[in-house]
């Protein structure tokens, strides 16, 4: 896969159009996912956030009771319920629990904090209407990948501050910082699927410069990390975001948060949606699912 990427023409991020890239990413990411697994039942739903209708998709394995809320990645700009459909199917089947995949409005049409507001509205929707949807949210775990991991981490902090009890937070290769100053950014600047230039493009479209240190973008800057729900945090070793994920796991441990840290070796950012090209994707989803099962017992 990386060799194929090396043979593609370089991307000019100064002229790259977000809408065109969003459409291209839909095809590219779905191709990486391979053939989707069957799930007993899948439902399309929606909820309201700031007057907008936000899509959600419920994956229901046979006999599922508990619920996982999942937030997809894509740098806050690309990605959708469809790009992460395959991994959500796998997560539902391997946890044996309902997985509710949450859409959110994308930048730059809807810049920060629109995504945060949409995910919080999604959490409120599940807690309010879960019973009528046949979803038990008493042991709710929130999960997210990449930019979705960032939103999930922020959502866990908000939930704590609002007195909402969560069974856990599962953060997969999360975006934790916006300064792009870590050693892994220098080490894996380009050639490993997610380039530093791409992250700069995502960040620029997501938030104004004055917001880039806001705790709702940089969870390390939260007032405190004490009292957060137990965390599963996974990184991969060939990823510009690796070091900030490690740093957040260490910060959670220092704050007394029960934390399980996993690093997948020989892999690049985005393997969560690459089950069609690498067994590391299946390993990561299986390890995440095993932790979620333990949290929901």
Active site residues: 146, 239, 269
Question: Which residues does 189 contact at the CB level (< 8 Å), separation at least 6?
Answer: 195, 196, 240
Reference 267, options 22, 32, 30; nearest CA is 32
Q: What are the two backbone dihedrals, phi and then psi, of residue 48, each rounded to the nearest 5 degrees?
A: -105, 140
Rounded alpha-carbon distances, angstroms, from residue 77 to 8, 163, 198, 232: 22, 30, 11, 25
Reference 106, options 206, 207, 209, 25; nearest CA is 206
**Strand 41-49, strand 52-60: pairing:** antiparallel
Q: What is the C-alpha separation between 178 and 219, in angstroms, rounded?
A: 11
Instruction: Report the Cα–Cα distance between both ends of the chain, in Å, rounded.
Output: 38
Give the tokens for residue 33.
């996912």
Reference 291, options 71, 146, 141; nearest CA is 141
Helical pair 85-95 and 279-295, crossing angle rounded to 10 deg: 50
Reference 153, options 226, 228, 68; nearest CA is 228
Beta strands in the chain (DSSP E): 41-49, 52-60, 67-71, 98-102, 141-145, 168-172, 231-238, 259-268
Q: What is the C-alpha separation between 88 and 217, in angstroms, rounded?
A: 24
């Amino acid at each position: 896969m990386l060799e194929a990427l090396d043979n593609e023409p370089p991307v000019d991020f100064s002229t790259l159009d977000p809408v065109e890239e969003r459409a291209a990413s839909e095809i590219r990411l779905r191709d990486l996912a391979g053939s989707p697994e069957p799930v007993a039942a899948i439902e399309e739903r929606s909820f309201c956030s700031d007057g907008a209708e936000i899509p959600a998709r419920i994956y229901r394995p046979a006999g599922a009771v508990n619920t996982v809320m999942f937030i997809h990645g894509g740098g806050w700009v690309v990605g959708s319920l469809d790009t992460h459909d395959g991994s959500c199917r796998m997560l539902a089947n391997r946890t044996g629990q309902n997985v509710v995949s949450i859409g959110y409005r994308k930048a730059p049409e809807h810049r920060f904090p629109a995504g945060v507001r949409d995910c919080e509205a999604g959490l409120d929707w599940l807690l309010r209407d879960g019973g009528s949807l046949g979803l038990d949210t008493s042991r709710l775990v929130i999960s997210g990948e990449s930019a979705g991991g960032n939103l999930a981490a922020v959502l866990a902090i908000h939930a704590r501050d609002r007195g909402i009890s969560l069974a856990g937070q599962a953060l997969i290769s999360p975006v934790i910082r916006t300064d792009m100053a870590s050693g892994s950014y220098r080490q894996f600047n380009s050639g490993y699927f997610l380039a530093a230039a791409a992250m700069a493009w995502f960040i620029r479209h997501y938030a104004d410069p004055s917001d880039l240190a806001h705790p709702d973008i940089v969870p390390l800057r939260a007032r405190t990390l004490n009292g957060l729900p137990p965390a599963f945090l996974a990184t991969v070793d060939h990823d510009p975001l690796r070091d900030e994920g490690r740093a957040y796991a260490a910060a959670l441990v220092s704050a007394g948060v029960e934390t399980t840290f996993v690093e997948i070796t020989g892999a690049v950012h985005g393997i969560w949606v690459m089950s069609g090209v690498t067994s590391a994707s299946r390993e990561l989803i299986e390890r995440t699912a095993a932790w979620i099962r333990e949290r929901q017992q």
